[in-house]
Amino acid sequence: MKSVLGYETVDYDREHHALVIVDQTKLPGEVDFLSLTSLREIRDAIYHLKVRGAPAIGVAAAYGLAALGWRIEADTAADFMKQLSRHRDDLCSVRPTAVNLSWALHRVYGACEDFLNRKPGEAQGRPEGEKIHKLREVLLREADRMKEEDADICRRIGEHGLDLLRPGDGILTHCNAGQLATCRYGTATAPIYLGQERGYGFHVYADETRPLLQGARLTAFELQSAGVDVTLICDNMAASLMAQGKIQAVLVGCDRVAANGDTANKIGTSMVAVAARHYRIPFYVCAPLSTIDRDTPTGREIQIEERPAEEVTRMWYRQPMCPPGVKVYNPAFDVTDHSLIHGFITELGVFSSPEEI
C-alpha cells in the first residue's frame, strides 16, 4: 500500500487551470483524483466532503477561486472583481462552520484588491486585458503560497506536539485531522508522523467517528499506509480504553476556535474531552492560527452545520437501518468547552488559551 504521504490532497493543474483533489468519499477502497473547473463542481466537492478538513478546504477553495478566475469573461478589471466576489461569496456559504473556508477565500480575493488598490504602480496604466491576466496570476500565486504555508505550519505543529509526548505513548484521535485534511502531515497527526519517522513507537487509537466514518475510512487508512501502529475503535469505546490506562494523550484537530477557547470540531469530540478530563488525560487541540476566530466570542455563537438525515439512516448500509420516517438530528460538529482543553498546539507553540497568543 502506498503511503498517503505520497499523495497530494489538494493541487492545481496549470495546463487546464483546474483544482485537483483526492476524492475522499471513495477512500479507502479507491484513490481517485478529481479535476474541477466549474463553480458547481467545486461547490459539490466541498459540500459532499470530497475534500474536507479545515486547512484542506481552505487551500482547495483558494485554488478553486483561481480556477474560476481563468474562466471569468470580463472587459474590465472592475467587472472581473465583481464576478470574482460573487464566486467568493457563493463558496463561502457551502460549509459555514469551518472558518478556514471564508478566511482563505477572502485572503486570495484580498490579494487581488491589493494589486489594484494598494499597489497602484503595478496596476496603473496597464490595459484592462493585461490587468485581468495579472489578477489571475495573483490568485494562483496566493493559493500556491497558502499551500506551502500549510505544509510548513503542520510540520511546526508536529514538532511542538511531539515535545509533549513520550515514546510508546497511546494516543487517541477523533475524526480525521491528517494529511487528507491538510496539504501535508495533518494537524493532530503531525506529531504522530514525526514520531514515526523518529522511532517513537506510538500506539494510536482512531475513533471510527460516526456518522461519516472519517476515522475508519481516512485516519486508519492514512496511518496504516504510513506504517503507524493504529487500532480502530467505535466511538463509544474510548472511555473504556482510558479506564484501562491505554491512552496517555488525546490529539484532535478543529474547524473553528472561538476567542475564549471554545472549539468546534467533528461531532463526538466533546464527549471525548469530557471522558479525558474524568480520567486526567491531557486533551490537546492541534490547530493553525488561521482557525482561531477572534470575532466569535464563545462557542455559543459558532454556527453548526446540520447534515442530511440519510448520512445517519442509510449511507453506509445496504438497506435503511431505522424505521421509515423516524426523526433524525445530524449536526456535523459539536463545541468543546474551553475548560476541557488542556492546550492548543499551534505553529507558534503550545498555549492554554487563544488569549495567550
- Report the pLDDT value the prediction gives residue 4, as an integer from 0 to 100: 67
* CATH number for the domain formed by residue range(s) 4-155: 1.20.120.420
Dihedral sign computed on CA atoms, order 89, 93, 95, 100:
positive
Mean pLDDT of 167-175: 98
Fold of 165-356: Rossmann fold (3.40.50)
Residue 257 has pLDDT above 60, yes or no: yes
Residues 6+ apart with CB under 8 A from 301: 258
Biggest CA-to-CA distance, the chain = 71
**What pLDDT, in 10s, does the model give residues 266-293?**
999 999 999 999 999 999 999 999 999 9
Average pLDDT on 207-236 reads 96
Average confidence score pLDDT of the chain: 95
So where are the chain's domains? 4-155, 165-356
Alpha helix locations (H) across the chain? 39-47, 54-69, 77-92, 99-113, 120-123, 128-162, 190-197, 214, 220-225, 238-243, 269-278, 310-313
Which amino acid, one-letter code, is at 231? T
Question: Residues 41-88: pLDDT tens digits?
Answer: 999 999 999 999 989 999 999 999 999 999 999 999 999 999 999 999
The residues annotated with a catalytic role in the active site are: 255
Looking at the predicted structure, is the pLDDT value of residue 353 above 80? yes
The structure's pTM equals: 0.91
Alpha-carbon torsion, ordered 59, 264, 87, 24, to 10 deg:
50
